[in-house]
Structure 1
Amino acid sequence: MGRDDVGDYLGGQNPIIPSASTLFHLVLYWRCWAEKEREKGRGKGKENRKRKRKRREEKGKKTEKEKEEKGKRREREGKGREGKRREEKGREGKGREGKRREREGKGREGKRREREGKGREGKRREEKGKRRERKEKRREEKRREEKRREEKRREEKRREEKRREEKRREEKRREEKRREERRENFPPSPAVSGVPRVKAAKPHELPPFRSACPQMTPLSAQICPFPSEEGESRGRRAIKRETEPDIAPQRSPASSRPCRSAKVDAERQKTLALKMPMELTQSRIQKIWLPNDNRPALPRRSCGPQLANSPTVIVMVGLPARGKTYISKKLTRYLNWIGVPTKVFNVGEYRREAVKHYSSYDFFRPDNEEAMKVRRQCALAALRDVKQYLTEEAGQIAVFDATNTTRERRGMILNFAKENGFKVFFIESVCNDPTVVATNVMEVKLSSPDYRDCNSTDAMEDFMKRINCYQASYQPLDPDDYDRELSLIKVIDVGRRFLVNRVQDHIQSRIVYYLMNIHVQPRTIYLCRHGESEFNLKGKIGGDSGLSNRGKKFALALNKFVEEQNLKDLKVWTSQLKRTIQTAEALQLPYEQWKALNEIDAGVCEEMTYEEIRDQYPEEFVLRDQDKYYYRYPSGESYQDLVQRLEPVIMELERQENVLVICHQAVMRCLLAYFLDKSADEMPYLKCPLHTVLKLTPVAYGCRVESISLNIEAVNTHRERPEEAKKGPNPLMRRNSVTPLASPEPTKKPRINSFEEHVAVSSALPGCVPQEVPTQLPGQPLLGKACLT
Structure 2
Amino acid sequence: MCVSCQFLIHLSVCVCVCVCVCVCVCVCVSASVPQFTNSPTVIVMVGLPARGKTYISKKLTRYLNWIGVPTKVFNVGQYRRDATQSYKSYEFFRPDNQEAMKIRKACAIAALKDVCAYFMQEQGQVAVFDATNTTIERREVILSFAKENGYKVRWSVYVCVSVCTDLSCVCVCAQQVKLSSPDYAGCDKEEAVADFLKRIECYKVTYISLNDEKDRCLSYIKIFNVGSRYLVNRVQDHIQSRIVYYLMNIHVAPRFIYLTRHGESELNLVGRIGGDSGLSPQGNKFASALGGYMRSQCIRDLKVWTSHMKRTIQTAEGLGVPYEQWKALNEIDAGVCEEMTYEEIQDHYPEEFALRDQNKYRYRYPKGESYEDLVQRLEPVIMELERQENVLVVCHQAVMRCLLAYFLDKSAAELPYLKCPLHTVLKLTPVAYGCKVESIFLNIEAVNTHRDKPVVSQHMPSYRLICTKSNTSFVDHTGCQESQCSDVPTPSPTSNKTLQDLTKLSLQLYTHTHR
TM-score, normalization: structure 1?
0.55
Is 1:338 the equivalent of 2:70? no
Residue from 564, 569, 573 that aligns with 2:305: 573
2:289 corresponding residue in structure 1: 557
Cα–Cα, structure 1 residues 322 and 550, in superposed 2: closer, same or farther, change >3 Å? same
How far off is 1:482 after superposition?
A: 1.3
Please list, as runs of the form range in 1=range in 2, the aligned pairs for 1:305-320 lying within 5 A after superposition.
305-320=34-49
Is 1:708 the equivalent of 2:432? no
State the distance in 2 between where 1:445 and 1:671 align.
29
2:145 corresponding residue in structure 1: 416
Aligned amino acid, residue 335 of structure 2: G
Aligned amino acid, residue 158 of structure 2: F
Residue from 612, 620, 624 that aligns with 2:344: 612
Aligned amino acid, residue 320 of structure 1: P
1:465 corresponding residue in structure 2: 198
Deviations 1:453-502 (Å, cap 9, x if unpaired)?
111100000000000000110000112x2111000000001100000000
State the distance in 2 between where 1:624 and 1:301 align.
19
Cα–Cα, structure 1 residues 303 and 718, in superposed 2: closer, same or farther, change >3 Å? closer
State the distance in 2 between where 1:586 and 1:537 align.
20
2:160 corresponding residue in structure 1: 427
Is 1:455 the equivalent of 2:184? no
User: SS of 2:207's equivalent?
Assistant: coil
Deviations 1:172-215 (Å, cap 9, x if unpaired)?
xxxxxxxxxxxxxxxxxxxxxxxxxxxxxxxxxxxx9xx9xxxx
Residue from 381, 384, 389 that aligns with 2:113: 384
Cα–Cα, structure 1 residues 346 and 726, in superposed 2: closer, same or farther, change >3 Å? farther
Residue from 401, 404, 411 that aligns with 1:679: 411
Q: Is the 8 A contact 1:301 1:392 kept in 2?
A: no
2:50 corresponding residue in structure 1: 321
State the distance in 2 between where 1:399 and 1:727 align.
38
2:471 corresponding residue in structure 1: none
Q: Is the 8 A contact 2:57 2:128 kept in 1?
A: yes
Deviations 1:693-745 (Å, cap 9, x if unpaired)?
000000010000000000000000000000125699x9998895669xxxxxx
Aligned amino acid, residue 409 of structure 1: R
Please list, as runs of the form range in 1=range in 2, the aligned pairs for 1:203-602 lying within 5 A after superposition.
304-421=33-150, 422-479=155-212, 481-602=213-334
State the distance in 2 between where 1:712 and 1:727 align.
42
Aligned amino acid, residue 336 of structure 1: N
Cα–Cα, structure 1 residues 530 and 451, in superposed 2: closer, same or farther, change >3 Å? same
Residue from 347, 358, 361 that aligns with 1:629: 361
User: SS of 1:389's equivalent?
Assistant: helix
User: SS of 2:362's equivalent?
Assistant: coil
User: SS of 1:339's equivalent?
Assistant: coil
State the distance in 1 between where 2:37 and 2:197 align.
39
Aligned amino acid, residue 384 of structure 1: K
Q: Is the 8 A contact 2:44 2:158 kept in 1?
A: yes
Query: May I ask how many residue pairs the two structures share in their alignment?
Result: 441
User: SS of 2:221's equivalent?
Assistant: strand
Cα–Cα, structure 1 residues 587 and 671, in superposed 2: closer, same or farther, change >3 Å? same
State the distance in 2 between where 1:532 and 1:303 align.
35
1:161 corresponding residue in structure 2: none
Please list, as runs of the form range in 1=range in 2, the aligned pairs for 1:105-116 lying within 5 A after superposition.
none
How far off is 1:535 after superposition?
A: 0.2
State the distance in 1 between where 2:458 and 2:231 align.
47
User: SS of 2:127's equivalent?
Assistant: strand
Cα–Cα, structure 1 residues 736 and 524, in superposed 2: closer, same or farther, change >3 Å? farther
1:253 corresponding residue in structure 2: none
2:501 corresponding residue in structure 1: none
Cα–Cα, structure 1 residues 352 and 737, in superposed 2: closer, same or farther, change >3 Å? farther
Aligned amino acid, residue 346 of structure 2: R
How far off is 1:555 after superposition?
A: 0.3
Aligned amino acid, residue 327 of structure 1: I
User: SS of 1:381's equivalent?
Assistant: helix
Deviations 1:2-35 (Å, cap 9, x if unpaired)?
xxxxxxxxxxxxxxxxxxxxxxxxxxxxxxxxxx
Q: Which runs of 4+ in 1 moved over 6 A?
A: 300-303, 730-735
State the distance in 1 between where 2:343 and 2:103 align.
62
How far off is 1:304 after superposition?
A: 3.2
Q: Which runs of 5+ in 1 are unaligned?
A: 1-207, 212-290, 292-299, 740-789
Q: Is the 8 A contact 2:254 2:389 kept in 1?
A: yes
User: SS of 1:612's equivalent?
Assistant: helix
Q: Is the 8 A contact 1:627 1:726 kept in 2?
A: no
State the distance in 2 between where 1:377 and 1:441 align.
26
Cα–Cα, structure 1 residues 717 and 305, in superposed 2: closer, same or farther, change >3 Å? closer
Cα–Cα, structure 1 residues 620 and 309, in superposed 2: closer, same or farther, change >3 Å? same
State the distance in 2 between where 1:738 and 1:414 align.
36
Aligned amino acid, residue 203 of structure 2: Y
Identity of aligned residues (%): 71
Please list, as runs of the form range in 1=range in 2, the aligned pairs for 1:124-273 lying within 5 A after superposition.
none
How far off is 1:419 after superposition?
A: 1.3
Aligned amino acid, residue 451 of structure 1: Y
Cα–Cα, structure 1 residues 434 and 691, in superposed 2: closer, same or farther, change >3 Å? same
State the distance in 2 between where 1:423 and 1:611 align.
49
Aligned amino acid, residue 464 of structure 1: L
Aligned amino acid, residue 474 of structure 1: Y
User: SS of 1:313's equivalent?
Assistant: strand
1:271 corresponding residue in structure 2: none
Aligned amino acid, residue 271 of structure 2: G
State the distance in 2 between where 1:484 and 1:477 align.
9
User: SS of 1:522's equivalent?
Assistant: coil
How far off is 1:301 after superposition?
A: 8.0
Q: Is the 8 A contact 2:31 2:483 kept in 1?
A: no
State the distance in 1 between where 2:287 and 2:32 align.
45
Aligned amino acid, residue 543 of structure 1: G
Cα–Cα, structure 1 residues 428 and 495, in superposed 2: closer, same or farther, change >3 Å? same
Is 1:649 the equivalent of 2:381? yes
How far off is 1:306 after superposition?
A: 1.7
Q: Is the 8 A contact 1:573 1:660 kept in 2?
A: yes
How far off is 1:345 after superposition?
A: 0.2
Deviations 1:639-693 (Å, cap 9, x if unpaired)?
0000000000000000000000000000000000000000000000000000000
How far off is 1:510 after superposition?
A: 0.6
State the distance in 1 between where 2:486 and 2:376 align.
12
Cα–Cα, structure 1 residues 425 and 533, in superposed 2: closer, same or farther, change >3 Å? same
Cα–Cα, structure 1 residues 357 and 624, in superposed 2: closer, same or farther, change >3 Å? same
How far off is 1:617 after superposition?
A: 0.5
Q: Is the 8 A contact 1:676 1:702 kept in 2?
A: yes
1:763 corresponding residue in structure 2: none
Residue from 450, 453, 456 that aligns with 1:721: 453
State the distance in 1 between where 2:347 and 2:70 align.
37
Aligned amino acid, residue 76 of structure 2: V
Aligned amino acid, residue 110 of structure 2: A
Aligned amino acid, residue 715 of structure 1: V
Cα–Cα, structure 1 residues 726 and 545, in superposed 2: closer, same or farther, change >3 Å? farther
Q: Is the 8 A contact 2:262 2:394 kept in 1?
A: yes
Q: Is the 8 A contact 1:530 1:691 kept in 2?
A: yes
